[in-house]
Structure 1
Amino acid sequence: MSSRHSPTSTDAAVDIARRFAEEVWNGREYTAIPELVHRDYVLHDPAAPDPIRGRDALERHIRDSVRAFPDLHVEPRLGLGEGETVMTYYTTTGTFDGAYGPLSPTGRRVAVDGTAVIRYEDGKMREEHLYYDTADFRKQLGVTGLGFLRQVPSIARWTLRTVRARLFG
């Protein structure tokens, strides 16, 4: 390990992951992000088209998720680690009552089990990889098969807005 990085104990890293779920995701205490998350944080989420980079982008991602699932709750079930890397097993629940990217709300309740592998640097979350069944998540949202066809107009509008914003600012 490079001398510029302060070591994070496994117990401390597990506690940071638990606090992140409880305070930021569940408590909506976004002011806790700088205390728990490294300034160069990167999130790899299979539902996101690109990595989410930095604290501001992470906060936007969480706020967007909470707008889509106002009752969103993350329940950490198990935290294991070695050195500055922690794996947490969690269950996320919520009701799809708001727009989620290009998707229109379906009012359906979801419960998704997943695993997060988190690397720490300087005592803060530096990089996180999420692993969960995205096909099951889409099925629970009601956006597969005929449910997906009902989403096509919403997806088209979202795509057009996104392209316009990227091209014309």
Structure 2
Amino acid sequence: MSNIELHQDVHRAMSEKGAEEAAEYFSPDIVLTDEARGLTLKGKEQVTGWLAAWKSAFSDARIADATYLESGDWTISRFQGRGVNDGPLGELPATGRQLDLPFCELVRWQDDQSVEVAIYYDTASIMVQLGHMDPPA
């Protein structure tokens, strides 16, 4: 299976089933950097918990309109993260509003498992779309 197919499988698992199923593709010592929040997570348990928090805030969370590129042991995906905010997002209450946000994700693969992930997105757009912040003037 190619690294792109693995990346697609992780996205499909997350969209259709959730964090635990996506975690089947993670190495035990995976490192994920959430660049938007300046957060680095280490190990399968922490990364799975981070994904589960997204799925808890957006129970219908799905990855849509994804494109994939491969270079060596890295894959890159651009996609839209979509879902209705029907659960708390950290300390913020659910709003019932739709999120439709562009993401960029880089994944390094080793022995058919993801060992390193960097994800980029815009936190201000999340706050505006969910009604927690007014759009900039």
TM-score, length basis structure 1:
0.72
Q: Tell me, yes or no, if the aligned pair for 1:26 and 1:74 is still in contact at 8 Å.
A: no
Counterpart for residue 11 of structure 2 = 21
Q: Tell me, yes or no, if the aligned pair for 2:30 and 2:116 is still in contact at 8 Å.
A: yes
Give the match's secondary structure for 1:51. strand
Report the Cα distance in structure 1 between the residues aligned to 2:32 and 2:50, rounded to whole angstroms: 10
Report the AA paired with residue 118 of structure 1: V
* Cα-to-partner distance string for 1:139-167 (whole Å, 9 max, x where unaligned): 11211149xxxxxxxxxxxxxxxxxxxxx
Counterpart for residue 64 of structure 2 = 75
Q: Is structure 2 residue 109 aligned with structure 1 residue 140?
A: no
Report the AA paired with residue 28 of structure 1: G
CA gap 1:128/1:32 in 2 versus in 1, 3 angstroms: closer
Report the Cα distance in structure 1 between the residues aligned to 2:14 and 2:62, rounded to whole angstroms: 10
Give the match's secondary structure for 1:104. coil
Counterpart for residue 105 of structure 2 = 116
Per-residue deviation, 1:75:
2.1
Per-residue deviation, 1:32:
5.2
Question: How many residues are aligned here?
Answer: 135
Q: Tell me, yes or no, if the aligned pair for 2:103 and 2:119 is still in contact at 8 Å.
A: yes
Counterpart for residue 39 of structure 2 = 50
Per-residue deviation, 1:68:
0.9
Report the Cα distance in structure 2 between the residues aligned to 1:49 and 1:139, rounded to whole angstroms: 20
Q: Which structure is larger by alpha-carbon Rg, 1 or 2? A: 1
Answer 1 or 2: which has greater helix percent. Answer: 1
CA gap 1:76/1:41 in 2 versus in 1, 3 angstroms: farther
Report the Cα distance in structure 1 between the residues aligned to 2:65 and 2:51, rounded to whole angstroms: 16
Counterpart for residue 86 of structure 2 = 97
TM-score, length basis structure 2:
0.87
Give the match's secondary structure for 2:75. strand
Per-residue deviation, 1:50:
2.2
Report the Cα distance in structure 1 between the residues aligned to 2:65 and 2:20, rounded to whole angstroms: 18
**RMSD of aligned alpha carbons:** 2.0
Give the match's secondary structure for 2:2. helix
Report the Cα distance in structure 2 between the residues aligned to 1:87 and 1:54, rounded to whole angstroms: 21
* Cα-to-partner distance string for 1:44-78 (whole Å, 9 max, x where unaligned): 11354521221111221222211111111112521
**Match for residue 39 of structure 1 among 28, 42, 45:** 28
- Structure 1 residues not aligned, in runs of 5+: 1-10, 147-169
- State the identity as a percent: 23
